[in-house]
Chain A
């Protein structure tokens, strides 16, 4: 099975900072990669699909890139409401594995 890894596992940045989260698949998954945001006690929210397609209503400060095995989620200017755990997920085929998550906090 394809394994998903994320780095860093956690980060703390200042408001307005540019933040980048990396997701890596152990084998190529084309662009079948989604990013989710989960705030404390809440249901995960789909931010991005097809590696770089922003979901409706998601702020444009979020962007995604990558294809194959290496992907990134970037927040261009971190806001207090972005405090959350971010998960990548492969969805090309079963198992639809999630990455371990990246906790983002405000410094």
Chain B
């Protein structure tokens, strides 16, 4: 069965860092483009970042550019999101998501993790 499980969330002070992990199982991570999406409490979905299957291409939302870094270790079937210089407005549930088809960049997201809560507060 295909699964994505996030970890690493928690409460952090403004300006500090946090690294999220997304463990993939039931499929070959190295074949798929992967994304991070976040949802602030009571708000809509916000796309955060994308990484190609081999890690060679990455793009970020303007709201996190220069502060967040997406990466992957296909040998460990794990996706990461390094979050630096965190702000209160980064408070959200962060979910990883897989695109529908192997090898595709432009594709919808068919598999989502349950998410990891990040709270930025002093």
Contacts and interface: CB of A to CB of B under 8 A. Distances in A.
Interface residues of B, number: 21
A96 B104 CA distance: 14
B109 A100 contact: no
Interface string B41-59: 0001111001000000001
Interface string A93-107: 111111111000000
Of residues B35, B45, B46, B113, which shows the largest number of chain A Cβ atoms within 10 Å of its Cβ?
Answer: B45
Interface in A53-107: 55, 85, 87, 89, 91-101
Given A38-B45, A44-B45, A95-B59, 8 more contacts: A34-B108, A43-B113, A46-B110, A49-B107, A87-B45, A89-B45, A91-B108, A92-B106
Interface of A: 1, 32, 34, 36, 38, 43-44, 46, 49-50, 55, 85, 87, 89, 91-101
